[in-house]
Amino acid sequence: MSKHETPSLSRRERQIMDIIYAQGSTSAAEVREALPDAPSDSAVRTLLRLLEEKGHVKHAQVGRKYVYSPVVTAKKASHSALRNLLQTFFQDSVEQTLASLLDMKSSDLSDTELERLSALISQARKQGKKS
């Protein structure tokens, strides 16, 4: 597996990772409390162990409980997920991805958001000319 690939996550594993990213670090009991239609304690612990084996979380023992935290930052994880999305659905095209996002959300974007997007595009143009 290359450094840009990550093992795929099940729906439940993704839910757990979302909880861990939101809380920064958390125990199995706290994960279980935050899960919709939570499985048993042992199932949550098994999923956390699998996430640790896949390299997504690490644990530290605090008193009698394990506290889990993400191995990579949310920003790095989001970049990896976006990279996979671009490759899988948009033939690695940022233009196609943005066009699809704008098509989906254009009526929801405020003038301020549109101005910010325009500024980001201008900045990318300037950086592209420097390279």
pLDDT value for 89? 92
Model confidence pLDDT, tens digit, residues 5-44: 455 789 999 999 999 999 999 999 999 999 999 999 999 9
For 39, phi and psi rounded to 5 degrees? Answer: -80, -175
Options 3.40.630.30, 3.60.15.10, 1.10.630.10, 1.10.10.10; CATH for 11-70 is: 1.10.10.10
Per-domain boundaries in the chain: 11-70, 93-130
| Cβ neighbours for 90, distance < 8 A, ≥ 6 positions apart | 96, 97, 100
Model confidence pLDDT, tens digit, residues 36-63: 999 999 999 999 999 999 999 999 999 9
In which residue are the tokens 């009526």 written? 107
Q: Please indicate, yes or no, whether the overall pTM of this predicted structure exceeds 0.85.
A: no
In this structure, what token pair is assigned to residue 119? 């500024």
